[in-house]
Copies of this chain bind each other. A is one copy, B any other.
Amino acid sequence: MQNTGLKTAAIEKISHKEYFNIAVSVDCVIFGYEEKQLKVLLIKSDLKEFEGLWSLLGDLVTPNENLDDAPYRVLLERTGLKDVYLEQVHSFGDVHRHPSGRVVTIAYYSLVNIKSHKLNLTDNELHWHNVAELNSMAFDHKLILDTCLQRLQEKVLEHPVVFNLLPEKFSLRELQDLYQAILGQELDRRNFRKRINLKNWLVDLNEMEEDVPHRPGKLYKLKSGLKKISTDLNRSKPVKTHLV
């Protein structure tokens, strides 16, 4: 083969080395649910510039880990949880978004059951915040949170993901409360039940709630086969056009 004018990757790397000067991070919007409120797990910023403000859990991507593995690592390190639901949402890369230097961050949200990891967050400066009450945050993290919440709101309408926030067994009332917390609006009970029924996501356990101060409701669980945990790129169905 002659000299074709093509360059090898090795040569290209040399010619571009001044560009390898941007850090890449991931930020995780870790959603939880408790007492009828959607929560997000935050940490007190350790940067002087943002003293007193809260920030998302994130970390720089290390040179030898895949981008999509980084948020799993962050989750594991911070909450001890594996097999969480994670979805990549959006990248944020304004020049001055981070005071330490040029950091492009890729935002993910995850859904975790608060009860299942009460343990790991006693010592550090981690706290669950009510999403509805959050105002300013460190960096551009409020924007990231809003973007992820919006994505979650769209997601839950069509996909059975909220079950990652609930215990194994739950009543329809609990499920409805959760949807209301995520969507930020009240839903009609009868229509909600019809709609959930149509989705065919649930199995009736033939068990009842206990220790409730009123008539107990039936308990359900997510139908097996509808994997709770999954990543983003799993559209197997064709596009629903509504245009055919």
Residues of A within 8 A of B (CB): 4-10, 12-13, 16, 19-24, 46-49, 51, 60-68, 88, 90-95, 98-102, 104, 106, 147, 150, 153-154, 157, 179, 183, 185-188, 191-192, 195, 232-233, 235, 239-244
Evaluate contact between A91 and B63: CB separation under 8 angstroms: no
Instruction: From B66, B186, B191, give the contact of A95 (CB < 8 A).
Output: B66
Copy total for this chain: 2
The chain B residue sitting closest to A62, CB to CB, is: B19
Q: Which of A4, A98, A101, A235 has the most CB of B within 10 A?
A: A101
Check A23–B12 contact: CB distance below 8 A. no
CA distance A187 to B16 in the complex (A): 48
If the complex has contacts A9-B49, A47-B9, A61-B104, are A157 and B243 also in contact, measured as CB distance less than 8 A? yes
A23, A62, A187, A235 pick with most chain B CB within 10 angstroms = A23
Most buried by B among A20, A51, A192: A20
Contact A241 B13 (CB under 8 A): no
- Cα(A116)–Cα(B22), bound, Å: 35
Indicate if the CB atoms of B241 and A187 lie closer than 8 Å. Answer: yes
B66 touches A99 (CB 8 A): no
In the complex, what residues of B have CB within 8 A of residue A187's CB? 241, 243-244
Min CB distance A128 to B, Å, is 22
A106 and B94 within 8 A (CB)? no
Q: Which residues of B have CB within 8 Å of A7?
A: 46-48
> Are the CB atoms of B239 and A153 closer together than 8 Å?
yes
CB proximity of A26 to chain B, nearest CB, Å: 9
Contact, CB under 8 Å: A4 / B51: yes
A235–B150 touching, CB < 8 Å: yes
A62, A94, A106, A239: which has the most chain B beta carbons within 10 Å? A239
Residues on the B chain within 8 Å of A67, using CB? 91-94, 104
**A12–B60 Cα gap in the complex (Å)?**
12
**Do B47 and A6 touch across chains, with their CB atoms under 8 A apart?**
yes
